[in-house]
Amino acid sequence: MSTYGAVLLETQHGLAVDLRLIMPEDVLALRQLLSHPDVQRHILVRSGPGSVSAQVEKLVNRMLFAFDPCALHAGIYLKGQQRLIGIVALQNWNRREGTATLGYMLDPAWWGCGLATEAVGLFLNYSVHTLGITRIEGRCTGDNIRSERVMLKNGMKLERVMPKVGSLDDVMKVFTLLHK
């Protein structure tokens, strides 16, 4: 695998979801997802100064239009449908070391249906077997039991618990998937 070349995600088909590249026609659904209050409280918007809407716009542009050799974003779609209902991503991808950080979010209308678990499983399988990643780390806040279950169901192991930056009463749980 090239250290800097673009990676075009091959569509991944699951039982209930498909993963594929996020297209410009998905921009409205992506904005809605990133702006949803129930999603926002689980993501760290660190796109720089500005309003939440400005930060969301920066994330949308990064996911849709920017080439980043250290990231790969895939859209989550219901099987056979065209509307984006979530994303799954590799971030901080170090191709030489074979490491990356997992990120994902799903429209709250679909929480509790097993779709995030399936989408993350497809993406982890693709990341390990196609991209050759050997260590994937995922994080969630201490109170995000749903996200914790998604990672555990996909074979990730709790590696450590650390204080959440900017919070006196919450923690960040770090899970890892190792593949040699």
Per-domain residue ranges of the chain: 12-178
- Please answer whether residues 156 and 123 qualify as being in contact, where contact means their C-beta atoms are separated by less than 8 angstroms: no
Q: What pairs with residue 178 in β-bridges? A: 135
Of 147, 76, 153, 89, nearest to 115 (Cα)? 76
Q: Burial letters for 21-48: b for 16+ Cβ neighbours within 10 Å, e otherwise?
A: ebeeebbebbeebbebeebbebeeeeee
CATH code for residues 12-178: 3.40.630.30
Distance CA 17, CA 75 (A): 10
| Model pTM score | 0.89
Tell the residue number behind the tokens 């998604």, with chain if given. Answer: 150
Strands (E), 7-128: 12-13, 17-20, 72-78, 84-94, 99-106
Written as tens digits, the pLDDT of the chain (180 aa) is: 445 567 778 999 999 999 999 999 999 999 999 889 888 877 755 545 667 788 888 888 888 877 788 899 999 999 999 999 999 999 999 999 999 999 999 999 999 999 999 999 999 999 999 999 999 999 998 989 999 999 999 999 999 999 877 766 789 999 999 987
